[in-house]
Amino acid sequence: MSNDLSKTLFNQALLEFMDASPTPFHAVYQMTNLLDRSGFQALDEKAVWQLEPGSAYYTVRNGSSIIAWRQPQIIKAFLRDFG
């Protein structure tokens, strides 16, 4: 795929996302759908989390903000050495 075509597809997808997300609540809803389809696991921010190395997670606050991350594979070694 050419670089120009790649940029065009990216811009088109971004504009579609923005059209579907007129408010932060809509944007978070769109992102949760994308993250769910990508294998991320939703976490309740008030619960105690049991995170697994290499897994992907996200949490939503008030329906208007979202944080997503992939847990590092080496977290246990890091905590053992520095925790």
**Tens of pLDDT, residues 25-38:** 999 999 999 999 99
Give mean pLDDT, residues 4-8.
86
pLDDT on residue 79: 61
Evaluate whether residue 11 is within a structural domain: no
**Tens of pLDDT, residues 16-66:** 999 999 999 999 999 999 999 999 999 999 999 999 989 999 999 999 999
Evaluate whether residue 1 is within a structural domain: no
Evaluate whether residue 43 is within a structural domain: yes
Evaluate whether residue 69 is within a structural domain: yes
Evaluate whether residue 9 is within a structural domain: no
Evaluate whether residue 68 is within a structural domain: yes
Q: What is the dihedral of CA 19, 23, 26, 27, to 10 degrees?
A: 80
* Nearest partner of 60 among 14, 25, 22, 18, judged by Cα: 25
Q: Are 68 and 34 in contact (CB under 8 A)?
A: no
Evaluate whether residue 28 is within a structural domain: yes
Evaluate whether residue 52 is within a structural domain: yes
Domain that holds residue 59: 24-82
Q: Are 51 and 57 in contact (CB under 8 A)?
A: yes
| Domains identified in the chain, total number | 1
What is d(CA 64, CA 61) in angstroms, rounded to the nearest whole number?
6
